[in-house]
Structures are given as C-alpha cells and as structure tokens.
Amino acid sequence: MKPTIVILISGRGSNMAAILSASLPIKVAAVISNQADATGLELAAAQGIPTAVVDHRAFSTREDFDAALQNAIDQFSPQLVVLAGFMRILSPQFVAHYEKRLINIHPSLLPAFPGLHTHRQALAAGVRIHGCTVHFVTDRLDHGPIVVQAAVPVLQGDTEALLSARVLRREHVIYSRALRWWAEGRLHWQEDCIHVDGEFQNFGGLSAPEPVA
Ligand code: GAR
C-alpha cells in the first residue's frame, strides 16, 4: 500500500502542484491550508484531493490553532506531513507530535537565511550561490536534518523576482525527489543527519549550471 501524506499550504501551491504531478508512489490524502483563498486549494480540489481550511485567525493562541490543525491532519492518518509554502510558525507540541514525520522546503541553502525574504537576504549578503533545502522539521525554526539541497548561481543584475524564480524551479525538482526517497524507504536518520540508502550522499541537489540569460 502506498504511504499517505497530507500537504499543508498557505498560498500559490506550486510546490504542491509539482508533487502532485510527479507520479510519486504516495497517496496525497488531503491538502490543508490556513488561508481560505489559497489558490493551491482549487488546484488540489480539481484533482479530486480532499481539501480543508483551518484559519489561524479564528484562534486566539498559536497552541489552539495548532491543536485544531493537528486534529484536521490526523483525520487522514498520514505517515508524513509535508509543508509546502506553509507560512505559520509551529508550536513545539505540534512539532513533537509529528516527530520525524514533518518535512519542509525552505528557499535558501540552510542554515543560511532562515526566516522570511530569503532571496532579499541573499542579494543583500552578496552571496554568489543560493538555493533551497528540503529538511525535517525540529522545534528550531528553519533548522533540522537536511535531506537534499539544490544550488543556483546569483547573477549580476538579479532581482528578488529573478532569483526567486530560479530557486523555485529547483524546489520543484528536489521536493519530489526527497519524497520519492522517503516513500521508497531510502531515508535513514543517523543522529541528526539524513542518509540516503545508508550513506551520506550528495548527488541529489547538484545540477549543471543553468545558461546565463
Ligand atoms: C516556496 O518558495 C517555499 O520554499 C517557501 O514559500 C514558497 C511557497 O511557494 N516556503 C517558505 O518560505 C517556508 N519558510 P508555493 O506556494 O508556490 O509552493
């Protein structure tokens, strides 16, 4: 039987769409958002995937929201909860409930540039290489064991929009790749490091340089 995931989104849902179209050996049991107008919800519904909204504004504390979100997720009994552009900080209780079952994509080469506006941060820092990271979630924001990273060049004249689009194209590739490894039982925790097929591998995120426009 295919392992089951629930995807959490807050908006556009392009990573979710990439996961849905990747023909993974995974059942996407539901897509849940904290924003009723998240465009990704329509796309999921159009593919016959159950959707739900848990609006954070209806709760007075983070813990109450997280408890309601957890309740909504657990109705689908997922083996993995996949954060795909889910823009809420999660409480330690929530993270502990999904220990080793909560995975995220972040638009930077962590541990560089945690938090928001990662492309702006990268341009301000003048880095020449930027990228994205798939990692398991721990209660330290934008940290946690790395599964795969992809790097892109930062080019002269880059804007946040250009850099973000370049990174996003790589996000769509590595998130599906990480989920395929997970579904195939190929990810193993070695203390705080994730090994693929029992080894520390670094083949997943490296790509040929994109042509300079
Ligand atoms: C993606 O770039 C994702 O990495 C980022 O939000 C965007 C969502 O786009 N996530 C974070 O910043 C989480 N800290 P999408 O809705 O089109 O997938």
Side-chain half-sphere of 113: how many Cα atoms within 13 Å? 21
> Which atom belonging to ligand 1 lies closest to the Cα atom of 116?
12
Give me the chain's average pLDDT, please: 94
Q: What is the pLDDT of residues 94-137, one digit of tens each?
A: 999 999 999 999 999 999 999 999 999 999 999 999 999 999 99
Quick one: 41 and 90 in the same domain?
Answer: yes
Q: Which domain holds residue 172?
A: 105-133+146-213
Q: Which of 106, 145, 130, 137 is nearest to 210 (CA)?
A: 130
- Where residue 207 falls among pLDDT bands split at 50, 70, 90? low
The phi, psi pair for 166, rounded to 5°, reads -65, -40
Q: What is the pLDDT of residue 148?
A: 95
Q: Does the C-beta of 66 come closer than 6 Å to ligand 1?
A: no
Residues forming a β-bridge with 196: 187, 199
Q: Does the C-beta of 133 come closer than 6 Å to ligand 1?
A: no
User: Which SS3 state, helix, strand or coil, does residue 105 take?
Assistant: strand
Choose the weakest-confidence range: 62-66, 135-139, 168-172, 201-205.
201-205
Q: What is the pLDDT of residues 16-66, one digit of tens each?
A: 999 999 999 999 999 999 999 999 999 999 999 999 999 999 999 999 999
Query: Hey, whose CA ends up nearest to atom 14 of ligand 1?
Result: 106
Distance CA 28, CA 76 (A): 10
Query: Hey, whose CA ends up nearest to atom 12 of ligand 1?
Result: 106
What is the identity of the amino acid at 33?
Answer: S
Tokens 């194209």 belong to which residue? 169
Quick one: 64 and 27 in the same domain?
Answer: yes
Query: Hey, whose CA ends up nearest to atom 9 of ligand 1?
Result: 85
Quick one: 109 and 213 in the same domain?
Answer: yes
Residue with the bigger pLDDT between 114 and 202: it is 114
Quick one: 70 and 51 in the same domain?
Answer: yes
Quick one: 28 and 125 in the same domain?
Answer: no
Quick one: 68 and 53 in the same domain?
Answer: yes
> Which atom belonging to ligand 1 lies closest to the Cα atom of 84?
18
141 in a structural domain? no
* Domain CATH code at residue 84: 3.40.50.170
Q: Does the C-beta of 105 come closer than 6 Å to ligand 1?
A: yes
Distance CA 149, CA 105 (A): 9
23 in a structural domain? yes
Cβ atoms of 114 and 37 closer than 8 Å: no
Q: Does the C-beta of 15 come closer than 6 Å to ligand 1?
A: yes
Provide the annotated active-site residues: 106
Quick one: 1 and 23 in the same domain?
Answer: yes
Quick one: 124 and 187 in the same domain?
Answer: yes
Choose the weakest-confidence range: 17-21, 176-180, 189-193.
189-193
Cβ atoms of 7 and 31 closer than 8 Å: yes
By most ligand atoms within 8 Å of CB, the mutation choice from 7, 8, 9, 14 for ligand 1 is 14
What angle is formed at CA 5 by the lines to CA 4 and CA 7, rounded to 5 degrees?
160
Is the model's pTM score more than 0.85? yes
Distance 68 CA to ligand 1 centre (A): 22
What is the number of structural domains in the chain? 2
Q: Does the C-beta of 144 come closer than 6 Å to ligand 1?
A: no
Tokens 């769509």 belong to which residue? 172
